[in-house]
Structure 1
Amino acid sequence: MLAKANRIVRGDDFRRVVRTGRRAGCEFAVVHRAQPEAAAARFGFIVSKRVGNAVVRNRVKRRLSALVRAELGDIETADIVIRALPPAGEADLATLRAGIVPLLVRR
């Protein structure tokens, strides 16, 4: 799990990032990036029921969180929301990493 300082938890923050942020995507996720409201990079995850049942959705969230935690030092300060797409439910960690990490460290 990410540290509390690195998480987006309020619905208003999720809406702000998704509506006003810049967007980049791959086949597994869409990454929304907006100007930060805090001193540290903050992340939120959106995994809908289209991705799979509760077990699959939670697995995807854990994998995304692990990816972010591993790359935290290389990611510039921003508020970032990662919205998982249905193929993310069937992808393994290495495949997710190959698709999503380039979107996170993009400058």
Structure 2
Amino acid sequence: MLAKANRIVRGADFRRIVRSGRRAGGELAIVHRAEPEAAVARFGFIVSKQVGNAVIRNRVRRRLSEIVRAELGAIDTADIVVRALPAAATADFATLKAGIVPLMVRRS
């Protein structure tokens, strides 16, 4: 689990990042990156019902959170929202990591 300082929880922050941030997409997810409001990198995850039922959505969210936690040192300070696409539901952890990490470390 990510530390509290590294999480985005307010709806207004999600909206700001998705609407005004730069976007990078792949087959498994779309990553929105905006200028940071804090001194640390912050992350939020959007996993809609199109991805699957509650069990699958939570599994995808936990996997994304673990990927971010492991790669936290390689990611520049920014506010980042990861929006999972339906293909993320069937991807294993290694495939998900290979698809997400390049999108997050890409410099805007």
- What's the offset of the Cα at 1:106? 1.1
Number of aligned positions between the proteins: 107
1:49 partner amino acid: K
Structure 1: gaps spanning 5 or more residues: none
1:19 and 2:16 matched:
no
Match for residue 7 of structure 1? 7
What percentage of residue pairs aligned between the two structures are identical? Answer: 79
1:74 partner amino acid: A
2:6 partner amino acid: N
Match for residue 54 of structure 2? 54
Q: Over aligned residues, Cα RMSD in angstroms? A: 0.4
Match for residue 30 of structure 1? 30
Match for residue 91 of structure 2? 91
Structure 2: gaps spanning 5 or more residues: none
Runs (4 or more) in structure 1 with deviation over 3 Å come to none
Q: Secondary structure at the match of 1:36?
A: coil
Match for residue 82 of structure 2? 82
1:19 partner amino acid: R
